[in-house]
Structure 1
Amino acid sequence: MFKYGVVRLHDLINDILDWERFYLSGRLQKPVHILVDTLNLEDVNSVNLRAAVSASLLLLPTKFSEEDLYAKICSLSYTGDLRMLFAEDRDKVKKIVRGQFDSFHSMYKPFLEEYEAKELLGSSSSSNHHGNILSQISWSKKITKTLLFFITLDCSLSAAHVLVSSLPQTIRSQIAMNLGGGNVHELAISSREEAAKCMQKILKWRVMVSSARQAVSDLLAVGAVNGMRYLARKMRKAWKS
């Protein structure tokens, strides 16, 4: 059994670049296997991946693990998803990240390097061994599983501005509107927390609308009987978790 859909390339690109519905872009923030690529999707999707890292860093605390980062990225497209209320495994995000950790690392390695070069990210460990993030990760894994390794984040207002500037323009426009400024070029945030809260609210609403639309589409596509059977299986998994 496969779940499948058909989408126009124009709509796909719009969602990747602007998070218009945050449905396809959310899928592509997780590891996928591309069979045939006539679009050079990897290059186009790099904008989406950078924005996902930026959004997640706005929501993370000062210190976090590499797994925490990928879990936060993965959870972006589930925030507000109606299915998560009653029809999804509560540990779904953790299972996705732990089952495909190396793939997440390969996907997001260039952006960790980029943000480290901008001095937005650093590293620390329980043994006070310092170095760049990626070599530190490799070093900590070789020594012992009990070693605590953390990525450290610059939580200053200037750093928050850099992260917000990497978000899609439609998201920045809504943030500007919600914070009292009508122009995305005049976006002014008074605190990192304010920007994070506003962004999270916008993403939650987009995911909620998309998930409701998708649920209706699923029922129309597969029929009421098959749809209810599928929903029942999902709900059983949710209750077990």
Structure 2
Amino acid sequence: MDTAAAGRALELAGPLRDLLPPVDFCCAYGSSLLHARPDETSMVDYILGVADPLQWHSENLERNPEHYSSWMARRGPGAVTWFADRVGAGVYFNPFVQWRDKRIKYGVVGIKDLAMDVLTWDRFYLSGRLQKPVHVLVDNWDIRKVNTVNLKMATSASLLLLPQEFTEYDLYAKICSLSYMGDLRMLFAEDKDKVKKIVEGSFQPFQLMYRPLLQEYISDGILKTSTYGQQKAFKQDCGVSATSELFSSLPWTIQRKLQGRLTSNSKEMPTHAIVASKDMAARYVRTVLRRRVMVSSARQAVCGLLASGGAVAARYMGKKMSKAWKSRTS
């Protein structure tokens, strides 16, 4: 994220300190941070990691009951956390929160649940968000540590999905697209050029995040570098050994599912990934991620619809669909 975007994030960090209960982790993201002059209706999005979501929502409901829909506020913090965990993807969002002349949206998640999703891609919701550049406002060593694993897994998955030769831009676009594969909102409620705009608006932050990992793959012989115009380009080893190494970097939940399929008649699970070819690995990764993203995005949409109430949900969806329509007709 460039200096101007970082400045806007820090400027909007004020609401978190002045308005909300303390958090253990916080990052800002969203398209409004990428634009020098965001429009009046744009919101900056926050992810808030907290030790105890029930206790946090209890305190926040006392401080800021207007952030919640009236019927959710009446039901209390237990209903809020129940909706987040049982209906949604583990996070509860409060959108359209007004603070002075700013508008924000914040999602609250248990810090342990956040770390688990980042490590296992079990829901592949917030883990996908942290694979893209964000501006960390409240750092957390545990989240930073597990997210380094998340970034390596995202790189490995993207390499499996990419052809033998590709550019640095192609790689970041593929990483960015992982968490949108299967997202139903991309059909009608998201900008069709969303991935392109994120990568172009955050290309240098992507480089800072992923170039050390790419150097590891170059040192291991999986990647070779060249140039394509003014861009760095890569050629990857598509052999079985390199493919197996990439696949073994993915979350164990994904590896064990494939191993289980291939060894359904065996009593023992192999300790190392068994991958017959790059095409097979790519098909499997694409299928698994699409399914997880589809389920999580649908659950979170339903959670938001029910929790925020009809008027707020219609307002939020209308804003998203308007942006999506403009991107398809411009």
Pick the TM interval, shorter chain: 0.7 to 0.9
The 3 A distance-change label for structure 1 pair 13 and 153 is same
Task: State how far apart, in whole Å, the 2-side matches of 1:178 and 1:66 are.
Answer: 34
**Which residue of structure 1 lines up, in the alignment, with residue 254 of structure 2?**
171
**Which residue of structure 2 lines up, in the alignment, with residue 187 of structure 1?**
273
**Which residue of structure 2 lines up, in the alignment, with residue 152 of structure 1?**
235
The 3 A distance-change label for structure 1 pair 178 and 4 is farther
Conservation of the 8 A alpha-carbon contact between 2:247 and 2:273: no
Task: State how far apart, in whole Å, the 1-side matches of 2:182 and 2:169 are.
Answer: 22
Question: Which structure features the higher share of strand residues?
Answer: 2
**Which residue of structure 1 lines up, in the alignment, with residue 146 of structure 2?**
44
* Mapping 1:1-241, distance limit 5 Å: 1-125=103-227, 146-147=229-230, 149-181=232-264, 183=269, 185=271, 187-241=273-327
Q: Match for 2:260: what amino acid?
A: M
Conservation of the 8 A alpha-carbon contact between 1:175 and 1:195: no
State the shift of 1:76 in Å. Answer: 0.2
Aligned residue for 1:152, secondary structure, equals strand
Q: Match for 1:98: what amino acid?
A: E
Task: State how far apart, in whole Å, the 1-side matches of 2:287 and 2:180 are.
Answer: 13
Query: Percent of aligned positions with the same letter in both sequences?
Result: 55
Size of the alignment, in residue pairs? 222
Conservation of the 8 A alpha-carbon contact between 1:178 and 1:198: no
Conservation of the 8 A alpha-carbon contact between 1:172 and 1:184: no
Higher radius of gyration, 1 or 2: 2
Conservation of the 8 A alpha-carbon contact between 1:89 and 1:238: yes
1:102-149 Cα offsets, whole Å, 9 max, x none, are 0000000110111000011111236xxxxxxxxxxxxxxxxxxx4464
Over 4 Å off, 4+ runs: 146-149
**Which residue of structure 2 lines up, in the alignment, with residue 129 of structure 1?**
none
Conservation of the 8 A alpha-carbon contact between 2:159 and 2:171: yes
Task: State how far apart, in whole Å, the 2-side matches of 1:186 and 1:38 are.
Answer: 32
Q: Match for 1:214: what amino acid?
A: Q
Task: State how far apart, in whole Å, the 2-side matches of 1:65 and 1:186 are.
Answer: 30
1:166-217 Cα offsets, whole Å, 9 max, x none, are 0010011122234455725253221110011011101110000100111011
Aligned residue for 1:174, secondary structure, equals helix
Task: State how far apart, in whole Å, the 2-side matches of 1:204 and 1:235 are.
Answer: 22
Aligned residue for 1:2, secondary structure, equals strand
Q: Match for 1:238: what amino acid?
A: A
Q: Match for 2:139: what amino acid?
A: D
CA RMSD, aligned part only? 1.6
Task: State how far apart, in whole Å, the 2-side matches of 1:35 and 1:222 are.
Answer: 26
1:47-82 Cα offsets, whole Å, 9 max, x none, are 000000000000001111111000000000000001
Q: Match for 1:14: what amino acid?
A: M
Task: State how far apart, in whole Å, the 1-side matches of 2:209 and 2:325 are.
Answer: 32
**Which residue of structure 2 lines up, in the alignment, with residue 136 of structure 1?**
none
With CA pairs under 8 Å and 6+ residues apart, which has the higher RCO, 1 or 2?
1
Task: State how far apart, in whole Å, the 2-side matches of 1:17 and 1:24 are.
Answer: 11
Conservation of the 8 A alpha-carbon contact between 1:179 and 1:189: no
Q: Match for 2:236: what amino acid?
A: L
Query: Which 5+ residue runs of structure 2 have no aligned equivalent?
Result: 1-102
Task: State how far apart, in whole Å, the 2-side matches of 1:178 and 1:228 are.
Answer: 42
The 3 A distance-change label for structure 1 pair 48 and 148 is closer
Q: Match for 1:108: what amino acid?
A: Y
Task: State how far apart, in whole Å, the 2-side matches of 1:33 and 1:172 are.
Answer: 31
The 3 A distance-change label for structure 1 pair 196 and 179 is farther
TM-score normalized with structure 1 length: 0.87
Aligned residue for 1:187, secondary structure, equals coil
